[in-house]
């Protein structure tokens, strides 16, 4: 039996600076299901990129931190709120969905 309490784990990350994403309609990619996730990007005020993760895979905060750090290095966005609902996706799938969402707000260009 695990020492972790049952239920979803909630993680929040924030990244300062970056290039302003500008105006865009909220974007949703992916489908929450067994072993998958959904990612939503929304415009937000300020110069930060705020990330909110709800995941069923508890105890993986260091992995999430590494994936989100990598995302911000590749896409240093500002004025964006990222919401992730995860049901156990691998880090590669998380990165793929994040890249798909960024491509959507960039008009199909990553």
Structure tokens belonging to residue 55: 């995941």
Counted domains in the chain: 1
Read off the pLDDT of each residue in 30-35 and give the average, rounded to a whole number: 82
- Domain that includes residue 79, residue range: 9-22+38-105
- Whether residue 32 is contained in a domain is answered as no
pLDDT at position 74 is 95
> Confidence class of residue 5 from pLDDT cuts 50, 70 and 90?
low
pTM of the model: 0.89
Structure tokens belonging to residue 62: 């260091």
pLDDT at position 1 is 44
- Whether residue 3 is contained in a domain is answered as no
- Distance separating alpha carbons of residues 82 and 50, to the nearest angstrom: 6
- Whether residue 28 is contained in a domain is answered as no
- Whether residue 90 is contained in a domain is answered as yes
* Whether the predicted pLDDT of 35 surpasses 80: no
pLDDT at position 87 is 92
Name the DSSP class of 58: T
* Whether the predicted pLDDT of 12 surpasses 70: yes
pLDDT tens, 46-93? 899 999 999 998 999 999 999 999 999 999 999 999 999 999 999 999
CA contacts within 13 A on the Cβ side of 103: 10
Is 22 in a helix, a strand, or coil? coil
* Whether the predicted pLDDT of 98 surpasses 70: yes
User: Angle at the Cα of 88 (from 99 to 70), degrees rounded to 5?
Assistant: 35
pLDDT at position 32 is 86
- Whether residue 101 is contained in a domain is answered as yes
Buried b (16+ CB within 10 A) or exposed e, 85-103: bbbebeeeebbbbbbebbe
- Distance separating alpha carbons of residues 65 and 76, to the nearest angstrom: 15
């Amino acid at each position: 039996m695990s020492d972790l309490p049952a239920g979803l784990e909630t993680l929040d990350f924030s990244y300062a600076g970056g290039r302003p994403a500008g105006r865009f309609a909220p974007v949703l990619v992916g489908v929450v299901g067994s072993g998958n996730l959904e990612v939503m990007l929304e415009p937000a005020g300020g110069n930060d990129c705020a990330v909110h993760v709800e995941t069923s895979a508890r105890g993986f905060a260091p992995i999430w931190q590494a994936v989100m750090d990598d995302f911000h290095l590749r896409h240093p966005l500002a004025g964006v709120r990222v919401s992730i609902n995860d049901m156990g996706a691998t880090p590669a799938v998380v990165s793929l969905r994040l890249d798909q969402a960024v491509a959507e707000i960039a008009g199909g260009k990553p």
